[in-house]
Structure 1
Amino acid sequence: MRRTTFHRASLAAATLLLLAGCGSQGGGGDKGSGAVSPSPTASPTASPSASATPSAGGSSAGCTPVTSELTAADRGRTYCLAKDGTVRITLAGTEQRPWTKITAGGDTAALKPMNYGIMLRGGDAGAAYQAVAAGTVTLTATRPLCAQPTAPGQVSCKAIEEWHVTVRVN
């Protein structure tokens, strides 16, 4: 009897730890936003883009000039982009945790969608935009925080990981 009680208690404790651990990944750089740090990716570091030109005066307060392709590691940052400059975004996901399509909000007339130009793997998201007018645009995408269960009885969670950057067109 005692052995069965111990087994059930251990199973219950392990289940609680798994459920609690699903959304408790720590991370630097999120500064208390409540967002979960991104999963490490095996994608290579982006090379600088010749068409991503910083604003004439360099970076303005709280704004980083766009100098390369944006990735999941750039979450939550604000970027400056000169008119006629371009920005490319690549979010590496998995088939179990796919990114949604990258969407623009705010002054959407400031950025014109362009052909991304390459084929993506399942679960990845990508977009390219050209700066055509002054304004501020927020680019967003989401994906499941936990992979969906593949067999009955496995633990699942409904948490969502959000990615967003703000682009100021000067």
Structure 2
Amino acid sequence: MRRRTLHLAAVAAAALLLAGCGTQRDGTASPAPPPSPRGCPAEVRLTAADDGRALCLTTGGRLRLTLHGSEDRPWTPVTATGGALRPVNAGVAVRKGDAVAAFEAVAPGTARLTSTRPLCARRPGQNSCPGVQRWTVTVRVTAR
């Protein structure tokens, strides 16, 4: 009986792990998930850990994000494609290297948020690598 319980727990854990994946094998973002029975949220907060995530937001909703970087590996300002999101004042002081942004969902549609930063620290007198880390989130805005 105990062995069966452990097996079921392992299967359940694997299913939860797979369900939480946000990107496909080729690195592109997964399609936005269907809205929950209560619909899309009106407020979302994002961090660097949300890279590759696809989410939904209702019109009139707000999205805030903070990407913590450093002086020698700074994030670029976050950009949004499409007309579904409009940038608004984030209202906070930003540490050097961080990217902080806020958006309001103004129209149904899809937007892609992006930012980049160097893979390697940039230090005077040292070699650097040309690689770039990209952060991307896809936001589907739905009508209330």
For normalisation by structure 2, the TM-score amounts to 0.71
- Asked if 1:115 is matched to 2:89, the reply is yes
Residues in 2 aligned to 1:65 and 1:146: alpha-carbon distance in whole angstroms: 36
Runs of 5+ consecutive residues of structure 2 not aligned to the other structure: 1-20, 29-34
| Among candidates 137, 140, 146, match of residue 111 of structure 2 | 137
Hey, what does 2:130 align to over in structure 1?
Answer: 158
How far the C-alpha of 1:110 sits from its partner, in A, is 1.1
> In the alignment, is the contact (CA less than 8 A) between 2:112 and 2:139 conserved in 1?
yes
Residues in 1 aligned to 2:122 and 2:26: alpha-carbon distance in whole angstroms: 25
Hey, what does 1:149 align to over in structure 2?
Answer: 123
How far the C-alpha of 1:149 sits from its partner, in A, is 3.1
Q: Which amino acid aligns with 2:78?
A: I
CA RMSD of superposed structures (Å): 2.5
How far the C-alpha of 1:67 sits from its partner, in A, is 5.3
- Post-superposition Cα deviations, 1:44-75, rounded to whole Å, max 9, x if no partner, equal xxxxxxxxxxx67346xxxx857541010000
- Post-superposition Cα deviations, 1:111-151, rounded to whole Å, max 9, x if no partner, equal 11111000100000111111111000000000001001332
| Among candidates 96, 100, 114, match of residue 76 of structure 2 | 100
Residues in 1 aligned to 2:26 and 2:94: alpha-carbon distance in whole angstroms: 29
| Among candidates 55, 72, 77, match of residue 53 of structure 2 | 77
- Asked if 1:57 is matched to 2:31, the reply is no
Q: Which has the higher contact order (CA 8 A, sep 6+)?
A: 2
Q: CA 1:57–1:82 in 2, change beyond 3 Å: closer, same or farther?
A: farther
- Asked if 1:127 is matched to 2:127, the reply is no
Q: Which amino acid aligns with 1:168?
A: R
For normalisation by structure 1, the TM-score amounts to 0.60
Q: Which amino acid aligns with 2:37?
A: G
Q: Which amino acid aligns with 2:128?
A: S
- Post-superposition Cα deviations, 1:54-97, rounded to whole Å, max 9, x if no partner, equal x67346xxxx8575410100000101001111000111000000
- Report % sequence identity: 49
Hey, what does 1:39 align to over in structure 2?
Answer: none
Q: Which amino acid aligns with 2:79?
A: T
Hey, what does 1:167 align to over in structure 2?
Answer: 139
Residues in 1 aligned to 2:76 and 2:86: alpha-carbon distance in whole angstroms: 19
> In the alignment, is the contact (CA less than 8 A) between 1:95 and 1:122 conserved in 2?
yes
Structure of higher CA gyration radius: 1
